[in-house]
Amino acid sequence: MAVVVGLAILLITDHHLDARHYLFIVGAVVAVALTTRWPLVGAVLALPVLPVATYLFGGSGILAMVIAAVTIEVIAARGLLTTGTVLVIAHVALSSIDLEQRAVVFDPVGLMFVGVFFVIVYAFGYNRHSQRVRRLELQRSLAESQRQQRLTVARDLHDSVATSLTSVVMRSQALELSVTGDDAGDARIRTELEGISETSRNALEQLRAMLRVLNTELPDQSTEAAAPPPVRDALHNTVSELRAHRLKVETKVVLPPEDRLPVDRDAVARILVEMTSNAVKHSPSRSTVHLDCRVGTTDGSPRFLLSMTNAVAEGTLPYGGEDALFSTHIGLASMQSRATDAGGTISMGPVAEAPSLWRTALSLPIVE
């Protein structure tokens, strides 16, 4: 654009052309080129373009307004809005300088025309900048939405499919150990159970690998399709699952009727599933799991309190050396995320007075 304007000025001027005129056109084009790379440098160099052009080329020099306008548009499009505003004011002011007469010529109509022209050009640059900002915001929003969806899928897969596969692996292994006969029928059952266990382990390993790819951090929210079960049903399912894995369960549940227990049931159900999975994975066979659920008061506010205490076999979490197949550590972060989303807290770790026991305690608010 600057090159075309420069050639137009050279072609239509009635002044005798010499080296000064050509140097001016080259300098103006260089100033515009510098604006695209170093906006502030180009903008400063382009400031005297309009008064110098009218001095060298007379009336045809007014076309140099386009060169100044290009620098203003580029500056505004780069997001340097304050600099662009200063340039508009500066170019309008400089347009009133007559170098030939060495005077300031005040022409209200001319100044208004120049001012409106530069403001329009500035608006074009501002619009281009706004479109670029909106496009970047949309890209970031889409990327964040995709990330949240990916992380939600990872967490929900872990809480449903991964937990179920873990249960299948452990039940098949437990049944395999219970078949001790030496006849052909028992041998065939053991072989089938070994096949089920191996297939399930392979599927679980593939799922865990996918979860590690999907999961970088846990999302702030997750949308569940199915209605969460009542708290008592979730507790009953937990007890049944623990007993199915040959664990003894001692419960102490003191809760009001369900309709008087306004707590986040989805968070309770999901966290109970993860508590159960961890107890099954890390508790010695036939050990006792203590499940305590009640309504208490913390800092004067009613709270739903749930805790699970189980023995931990040496060589497993938290002592290290656990089978990597059964843990990606997504579950622990998932429980923390769900508790936080529900406005509660969760703590987990060895029991102070009995380090061989592991306790996970959930506290959720109750809204009266």
Q: Which of 95-99, 182-186, 272-276 has the highest mean pLDDT?
A: 272-276
Instruction: Provide the residue range defining the domain that includes 301.
Output: 227-368
What total of structural domains would you count in the chain?
A: 2
97, 52 in Cβ contact below 8 A?
no
Position 93 in a domain: yes
Instruction: Give long-range contacts, CB 8 A cutoff, 24+ apart: 205-208.
Output: 205/325, 207/157, 207/161, 207/162, 207/165, 208/162, 208/325, 208/328
Position 129 in a domain: no
pLDDT level of residue 266 (50, 70, 90 thresholds): confident
Residue 21's pLDDT is 75
Does residue 299 carry a pLDDT above 70?
yes
Position 194 in a domain: no
250, 288 in Cβ contact below 8 A?
yes
* Residue finishing a domain among 82, 106, 130: 106
* 111: three-class secondary structure by DSSP: helix
**Strand ordering across the sheet containing 248-254:** 248-254, 288-298, 301-311, 354-365, 345-351
β-partners of residue 350 are 358
Report d(CA 145, CA 81) in Å as an integer: 31
Does residue 43 carry a pLDDT above 70?
yes
Q: Round to the nearest angstrom and report the end-to-end CA distance of the chain.
A: 70
pLDDT level of residue 61 (50, 70, 90 thresholds): low
Position 238 in a domain: yes
β-partners of residue 104 are 97
Residue 220's pLDDT is 42
User: pTM for the whole thing?
Assistant: 0.44
Report d(CA 130, CA 140) in Å as an integer: 15
Q: What's the mean pLDDT in 203-211?
A: 70
Instruction: Output the six-digit token pair for 167.
Output: 């249960």
Position 47 in a domain: yes
Percent over 70 (pLDDT), the chain: 80
Instruction: Output the six-digit token pair for 290.
Output: 């203590």
How many C-beta neighbours within 10 Å does residue 150 have? 15
The length of the chain in residues reads 368
* Residue finishing a domain among 106, 127, 145: 106
pLDDT level of residue 368 (50, 70, 90 thresholds): low
- Token pair 């997750």 is at which residue? 222
Position 188 in a domain: no
Position 9 in a domain: yes
Q: Which of 214, 327, 198, 223 is nearest to 274 (CA)?
A: 327
Does residue 8 carry a pLDDT above 60?
yes
Report d(CA 134, CA 119) in Å as an integer: 22
Q: How buried is 12 (Cβ within 10 angstroms: 0-12 exposed, 13-18 middle, 19+ buried)?
A: exposed
* Residue finishing a domain among 71, 106, 141: 106
CATH at 272: 3.30.565.10
